[in-house]
Structure 1
């Protein structure tokens, strides 16, 4: 082996056989070791894993001006380790405590818009539907007829209220058609009818109107027009009623048709004979218009019929039919 050293060639020598090279190398390694020992090494054991770090941020209210963004600065200190311990987050706005923060207000708004049942009240409930669906058709209601009333019909109207033999009604005008044939003398039937008629008129306020038709074989109008139900007209009619007596035969169809000419909203029709035919009922029905007819039928003994033309007529107009056994009138007078 040949080594050049300071211009000289030394044969048969190497650094491992040169004593001065070995000493120089040893001194250099000792110096490096001393330098490494003098550098501080982080002591992980001194870091407390239970240390709680606090993260502070700012939530700016959108309604407030946007604050200036500060120049970021490096965080942490030499030797600090990240990702250890628990982090407590405190969020607050400028000059606010955590409970008064903009985020807190936002959360409050979200929570207060939820009802106690967990649903958002701002969302309207879906409409409930019944029936076979939402398809349109040309039907006008179920059950037949035009509305309320006994067995269907147009139902009760709007206006002052009264009643006649327990049949209640509301309307602006009323006509009373009273049978005064000879048979009404039986069981004091006409006297009971007259007393009930006066009681019904007394219930009417002055703004209501009334008319009265008495009939046997022919109809007799108290007046051929509707009168105001004021105290003076009621007193005049009371005096007239004292002279009404039972006599003669009965033509209730003629009286009923004539009473419709008064144009009252409601007709109370009182008769003691069920003599109406189907054709007569149809004839009255063609004339009735929007008038509701309530029939009070006087009879002797219980009502054994389930249907008859008079009952069908009243139901078709939105009225009702009531049967009264006149035998009860004698029992009441005892």
Structure 2
């Protein structure tokens, strides 16, 4: 998410904070950033879990999002499996990393886990081409899990991005 001048991460963070600001205290959420290890938003001393959208928690979540920087390699599988362990209704999975691809066996395992929990997985891919790659595993991930796939050309974000 640090490629292309960091535009993918800045765009994701901006949209995520907008989404956080729209939550009520009757909604639950979780944020998992990842590179080679998933880093969930959590309260010290508490297990990783879905969080309640109360004002104080949302303020902490916003600070957490603001603090994130992109570095390191990419491990999609562990982040998705961590998210699925919380049995969410929906996952919005954002990445600019097509490599490493999730293998067909990893996709199948994720599909089984999502079906057990009734979770829909939407995938949003950031790239620097005018159109999405036809062989994106993210398209397959969304299709297999009743979600939608969206491609974002980060070059189109340039004029809308803050410094």
Which band: TM-score by shorter chain?
0.7 to 0.9
- What's the counterpart of residue 243 of structure 1? 67
In the alignment, which of 237, 245, 259 is matched to residue 83 of structure 2?
259
- What's the counterpart of residue 30 of structure 2? 211
Q: Greater relative contact order (Cα 8 A, min sep 6): structure 1 or 2?
A: 2
Structure in which a larger fraction of residues adopt helix:
2
Q: Which runs of 5+ in 2 are unaligned?
A: 43-47
In the alignment, which of 109, 112, 115 is matched to residue 286 of structure 1?
112
Distance 1:306 1:188, change over 3 A: closer
- Normalised by the size of structure 1, how large is the TM-score? 0.43
1:301 aligns with 2:125: no
Superposition pairs of residues 108-127 of structure 1, within 5 angstroms:
none
- What's the counterpart of residue 158 of structure 2? 330
User: Aligned pair count?
Assistant: 153
- Largest Rg, 1 or 2: 1
- What's the counterpart of residue 54 of structure 2? 230
- Normalised by the size of structure 2, how large is the TM-score? 0.85
CA positional deviation for 1:316: 2.2
In 1, Cα distance between equivalents of 2:127 and 2:136: 14
Contact kept in structure 1, 2:7 and 2:161, CA below 8 Å: no
Contact kept in structure 1, 2:123 and 2:141, CA below 8 Å: no
CA positional deviation for 1:333: 3.8
Helix, strand or coil at the partner of 1:249:
coil
Helix, strand or coil at the partner of 1:264:
coil
| Superposed CA RMSD | 1.9
Q: Which runs of 5+ in 1 are unaligned?
A: 1-180
- What's the counterpart of residue 10 of structure 2? 191
